[in-house]
Structure 1
Amino acid sequence: MLNGADAAFLDGLRGQGIEVVAPEPRYLEEPRGRWPGRAAAVARPRDTAEVAAVLRAASAARVGIVPYGGGTGLVGGQVMGAGEGALILSLERMNAVRAIDPQSLVIEAGATLEAVHEAAASVGRRFPLTIGSQGTAQIGGCLSTNAGGVNVIRYGTARALCLGLEAVLADGTVWNGLTRLRKDNTGYDLRDLLIGAEGTLGIVTAAALRLFEPPAVEGSAFFTVPSPAAAVELLSLAQGRFAGCVSMFELISGQGLAFLRQTGPEVRFPFAEDPAWMVLIELGLPAGMDVEEAFAGLYEAAGDLVTDAVVAQSAAQMAEFWFLRETIPVANRRIGAISSHDISVPVAEIPRFIDEAGRMLHAMGDMRINCFGHVGDGNLHYNVFPAAGRRREAYDMAAVKHAVHDLVVSGFNGSVSAEHGIGRLKVGDLERYADRAKMAMMRALKAALDPEGILNPGAVLA
């Protein structure tokens, strides 16, 4: 129940014409079901001025604000499990295209990533950030978590695709940083400060995004490889042959395919027998090149690095290949992991990490490992599952997680959060592994920009 102060605060927002509603279940859930959220209400502003009004009032009343995009985040940044006085701030009504040209797009933060793609296509261009949840994920959330996806190898993360931001700070101040300049060295880069901050330093309300001309010719292929080491060598070979034209290079394990066969949903498997390892490669080539010839040439040049290949014969088959890759996490959830890890190591170290991590875990007990992900940028989704017939509760989940993360950081100078962020799930991991100076700088920034601690309390920093 709301107390009197909370009710007065919400009535004050309504008095300013801001829509405030009771939280529907969708606002209190996150995809992995780790936490049920709690909140007093949901504010749904129509424009930046109303966002500023919400934050001014929240700062004065010291009411926590939980920013909510599409709700697709996997580390709990969008749900707050404690504090009935917290207010969810949803920008879903703020989804307008403010400006567009062949070079850039200015769009409000509540637009879905799919809507951003459609806006770019309307001027014959492409916004290359691609993730499985793009029909639901909002661009504000993608920027606030510095989303990665499958095209990072060619285009970079969300940070590399953003030219400027508009954001509202904790006290209601509006920062108009919607520049579309490619070069601007006038002081600190506040855009990069807010990107990846997960709504803890300010609320992104609009963004200026880079657009790209689509490749003239595109194609996808599955290549089977005998080992992760062969996959990394194949990546180097492909990048040498098609400089700047490798859009996707995804590693898939035979264990992942076995989980797909065991749990569904229905997918079309590319080979009669599942290989131990395979890679999904997408090329975007200049006009005049033939994609089938390109893949045939790569296969021939690869020699013993590959054992088989299937090239997509149509756009529909390319979509089928992509669907198989994106369905692997669905199968993982149905199996039920002991511990899931979103980690990154240097690309050249991927084979050694997979080997050492596997030997370490098998020494700890009988477990299955599904390692897959964006080998082109060193980001692996390294997930550990119980042996067939055993329940995950029979394992020491914390010990498995710490063993993997300790190896990533101490053995490979890697990251325990490559693309999913910190949210609430990994606050302890950040404390455990981050450089002390980094933590001190982060806390100083938080104290300076959000002195009352109202912005996404409990996320990123404890």
Structure 2
Amino acid sequence: MNDLLAALSSIVGEANVLRSTEQCAPYLNDWRGRYHGRCLAVVKPASTAQVAAVVKACAAASVPIVPQGGNTGHCGGATPDASGAEVVVALGRMNHIREVDVGNSTITVEAGCTLAAVQDAAEAAGRLFPLSLAAEGSCQIGGNLSTNAGGVHVLRYGTARELVLGLEVVLADGEVWSSLRGLRKDNTGYDLKQLFLGAEGTLGLITAAVLKLFPAPRSRSLAWVALPDPVAAVQLLGDIRAAAGERLSAFELISRQTLELVLAHCEGARDPLDQPSPWYALIELADSAEGAELGPIFENVLGAAIEMELASDAVIALSASQIEALWALRENAAEAQKREGVSIKHDISVPVSRIPDFLERAGEALAAAFPGIRIIAFGHVGDGNLHYNCFGPVEAPSLIEQSEKVNRIVYDIVAALDGSISAEHGIGQLKRDELVRYKSPLEIELMRRIKKAFDPAGLMNPGKLL
């Protein structure tokens, strides 16, 4: 190990090989505080060549590697295990925007760029990179791609997987596979990049990517709508989509319990409406045309919804500051939960039409099994993805010891509705065993074959996903 540490220091510089407990501490715990590990060292390369050399050195010493971006994940996918034998490769120094090709509407970025930095570079060029997450100021694009992140605009632009045209990846033996081409058509066999998107660093280490850009929105309108139930939300989604078409860029569903948690824990948060409602929708319209008439669309659709009692009240943001304040109520939901304590998290997806069924069935089953349970439900109803998180009663908020029973109730209902146990957060450590339960044996075997082909020694982020 001393020889390995010396080799790593010679590659990245001694100052970029962290060894002390104090130096390594920020890299050894997940964002939620659920997982804690140890490591041999934290290595911080500054280039693809350095990453390749680090991986070769670790492979030669048979030392496992844990890739880490902004460390904002919810499933423990970037946390080392407790052995202290793994090397954490932190990519934050690889933070260069390599190229913005306005004519091709693409941007080439390194894996350590924060999502916000990619968004800013696109905006400076008069374009939009549409991936948008609450953690965008600290999460890194390499992690976003490795977990196939979703966010609030999947409804219009798709997940991270659909925003990538090319990748650069360091493989498990240290070889560099580069396919940084901004092609929208490339029908030359297997689309290898798709194997690394959503693989959570278990097949290779993403170091750079070519991403799609879109016309920048010049007109935006946002509405906060009070709803009686999720059935009304799904119907309203259909109505606003029919009226707005592709200008509908986000449709978020938020329960009253979720809003109350945000109001309790987030300074400056205010209830947008005078009267409480069981559910709310946060709906965004956007257009690349300056001065596009979006307000009348909201007025017509929401006026009709109130007349039909699909909605009881609504407010439309009239300024950029009001848009920001309304979005903050949704984006602070994860932070509010963290301040409340450790919840049992679920990041599930079902067909949009089955969202009301899921919420009703899961809510009834959990309430019967755990009297007083608090369910914090919110998410991207426009694409069928709900964040469905469970706390115990106020006087005993932790249900972690009941995770297996809670998960079984939730995931069995998801499976019965032809859904998925992970929509955008990935598998990591949190859902590794659940994956085996809900994937077919053949699917698991095919995944293991792919893992074996790319990482025969099992050194790339071991214990995650599979």
Smaller-chain TM-score range? over 0.9
CA contact (8 A) 1:260 1:328 kept: yes
Which one is further off, 14-23 or 199-208?
14-23
Structure 1 SS opposite 2:309: helix
Residue 390 (str. 1) matches residue 396 (str. 2):
yes
1:330 corresponds in structure 2 to: 335
Deviation of residue 211 (structure 1)?
0.5
Q: Provide closer, same or farther for how the CA distance between residues 394 and 15 of structure 1 changes in structure 2, counting only shifts above 3 A.
A: closer
Select the residue among 449, 455, 461 that pairs with 2:460: 455
Deviations 1:201-252 (A, max 9, x none): 0000000000111123111110111110000000011111111111110001
Residue 297 (str. 1) matches residue 322 (str. 2):
no
Select the residue among 378, 381, 384 that pairs with 1:378: 384
CA contact (8 A) 1:55 1:171 kept: yes
Select the residue among 3, 8, 14 that pairs with 2:9: 14
Contiguous gaps of at least 5 residues in structure 2: none
Q: Distance in 1 between matches of 2:12 and 2:273?
A: 59
2:408 corresponds in structure 1 to: 402
Residue 173 (str. 1) matches residue 170 (str. 2):
no
Select the residue among 185, 188, 203 that pairs with 1:186: 188
Select the residue among 128, 148, 158 that pairs with 1:146: 148
2:312 corresponds in structure 1 to: 307
Which one is further off, 388-397 or 338-347?
388-397
CA contact (8 A) 2:234 2:352 kept: yes
Q: Distance in 2 between matches of 1:91 and 1:341?
A: 28
Deviations 1:360-402 (A, max 9, x none): 1122131122211100010001112222323435973321121
CA contact (8 A) 1:9 1:57 kept: yes
Deviations 1:397-432 (A, max 9, x none): 3211211111111x2111111110011111111111
CA contact (8 A) 2:263 2:271 kept: no
Select the residue among 223, 226, 229 that pairs with 1:224: 226
2:78 corresponds in structure 1 to: 78
Q: Distance in 2 between matches of 1:246 and 1:330?
A: 26
Map 1:103-252 onto structure 2 (within 5 A).
103-252=105-254
Q: Distance in 2 between matches of 1:401 and 1:336?
A: 18
Q: Distance in 2 between matches of 1:286 and 1:100?
A: 19
TM-score (norm 2): 0.95
CA contact (8 A) 2:253 2:279 kept: yes
Residue 436 (str. 1) matches residue 437 (str. 2):
no
Q: Distance in 1 between matches of 2:274 and 2:125?
A: 42
Q: Distance in 2 between matches of 1:57 and 1:338?
A: 39
Q: Distance in 2 between matches of 1:56 and 1:129?
A: 32
Q: Provide closer, same or farther for how the CA distance between residues 161 and 391 of structure 1 changes in structure 2, counting only shifts above 3 A.
A: closer
Deviations 1:77-109 (A, max 9, x none): 111122212111111111111111220000111
CA contact (8 A) 1:127 1:212 kept: yes
Deviations 1:231-287 (A, max 9, x none): 000001111111111111000111112223343433021011221111000001353
Query: Percentage identity across aligned positions?
Result: 47
CA contact (8 A) 1:338 1:397 kept: no
RMSD of Structure 2 on Structure 1 (CA)? 1.5
Q: Distance in 1 between matches of 2:128 and 2:400?
A: 47
Which one is further off, 370-379 or 388-397?
388-397
1:56 corresponds in structure 2 to: 56
Structure 2 SS opposite 1:343: strand
Select the residue among 425, 445, 448 that pairs with 2:450: 445
Select the residue among 255, 258, 264 that pairs with 2:257: 255
CA contact (8 A) 2:390 2:399 kept: no
Q: Provide closer, same or farther for how the CA distance between residues 90 and 393 of structure 1 changes in structure 2, counting only shifts above 3 A.
A: closer
Deviations 1:97-154 (A, max 9, x none): 1111220000111110011011101110010000011111010110001000000000
1:3 corresponds in structure 2 to: none
Structure 1 SS opposite 2:209: strand
CA contact (8 A) 2:344 2:399 kept: no
Amino acid at match of 2:70: G
Q: Provide closer, same or farther for how the CA distance between residues 107 and 264 of structure 1 changes in structure 2, counting only shifts above 3 A.
A: closer
Residue 95 (str. 1) matches residue 100 (str. 2):
no
Q: Distance in 1 between matches of 2:427 and 2:384?
A: 18
CA contact (8 A) 1:170 1:449 kept: yes
CA contact (8 A) 2:225 2:313 kept: yes
1:364 corresponds in structure 2 to: 369
Q: Provide closer, same or farther for how the CA distance between residues 172 and 269 of structure 1 changes in structure 2, counting only shifts above 3 A.
A: same
Q: Provide closer, same or farther for how the CA distance between residues 53 and 228 of structure 1 changes in structure 2, counting only shifts above 3 A.
A: same
Deviation of residue 330 (structure 1)?
2.2
Select the residue among 419, 423, 431 that pairs with 1:426: 431
Amino acid at match of 1:299: L
Which one is further off, 163-172 or 91-100?
91-100
Q: Provide closer, same or farther for how the CA distance between residues 167 and 304 of structure 1 changes in structure 2, counting only shifts above 3 A.
A: same
CA contact (8 A) 2:11 2:54 kept: no
2:38 corresponds in structure 1 to: 38
Q: Distance in 1 between matches of 2:132 and 2:355?
A: 23
TM-score (norm 1): 0.95
Q: How many residues align?
A: 455
CA contact (8 A) 1:64 1:454 kept: yes
Deviations 1:146-183 (A, max 9, x none): 00000000000001111100001000111011110001
Q: Distance in 2 between matches of 1:260 and 1:133?
A: 16
Amino acid at match of 1:12: A
CA contact (8 A) 2:131 2:159 kept: yes
